[in-house]
Amino acid sequence: MARIGVVVFPGSNCEYDAANAVSELGATPVFIWHSANDLGEVDGVILPGGFAHGDYLRPGALARFSPVMAAVQHFADNGGAVLGICNGFQVLTEAGLLPGALQKNRGLTFLCQPSTLVVASTRSVLTRNATVGQHLSVPINHFSGSYTCDDATYESLVANDQIVLRYLDNPNGSRDNIAGVSNEAGNVVGLMPHPERAMSTLLGSADGRVLLGGFVGLAATASL
């Protein structure tokens, strides 16, 4: 059974949602405290949402220097599947594991609402089970979610098929409606929406299963 590490920073608050989603998809979640120097035996890693280190300075600015991030970097460099959700996405961009940055929403309001995502690439560990153009209903819950990058970075994102998900109706002013991006290899992915909160139609949407199912399934394959 695949083991998925869920990194917990002081101020993380979506780690149980992420762990529950992992369990529901048939894998074993393992919490990893931010001061750990290694990840232990895991087949994939999730950086969950929240307010790591209080989001002081900038979201992710202090979390990227937590000891565990060196281990996450090492894991990613060796092809390990890494997923950053919301605050986890911000941490991955601050750490340089993903290109670009997240700045304050265009309307300067905290957004907590459903969003419709359009799958832009299936080359990533998160979207491998989806189809290009597929619409997914996944909630957003953030203040600094407006994706930004310079022109050269944007051109390389497009050229390398690294734009993974776009918003149908851009709620936060992100460049080119970008909701999620991957690294060049596709094994590191970050997105602002919360797929771990879209696991049940009873609670609004089960579309998160398409995304997290792919991620957990890939990690399971890696563990064989």
Contact residues for other proteins (CB under 8 A)? 57-58, 61, 65, 93-94, 100-101, 103-108, 146, 148-150, 153, 173
Closer to other proteins at the Cβ: 101 or 136?
101
112 as an active site residue: the answer is: no
* Cβ atoms < 10 Å from Cβ of 17: 19
Q: CB of residue 58 vs other proteins: minimum separation in angstroms? A: 6
Closer to other proteins at the Cβ: 58 or 123?
58
Q: CB of residue 60 vs other proteins: minimum separation in angstroms? A: 9
Per the residue annotation, which of 14, 15, 53, 196 is the catalytic one? 196
* 213 phi and psi angles, rounded to 5 deg: -60, -40
Q: CB of residue 108 vs other proteins: minimum separation in angstroms? A: 5
Burial 166-197 (b: 16+ CB within 10 A, else e): bbeebbbbbbebbbbbbbeebbbbbbbbbbbb
196 as an active site residue: the answer is: yes
Query: What whole-number distance in Å separates Cα of residue 134 and Cα of residue 35?
Result: 38
Per the residue annotation, which of 86, 94, 142, 149 is the catalytic one? 86
Distant-in-sequence, close-in-space partners of 159: CB < 8 Å, separation ≥ 6: none
Give the DSSP letter of residue 201.
G
86 as an active site residue: the answer is: yes
Closer to other proteins at the Cβ: 49 or 100?
100
Active site residues: 86, 194, 196
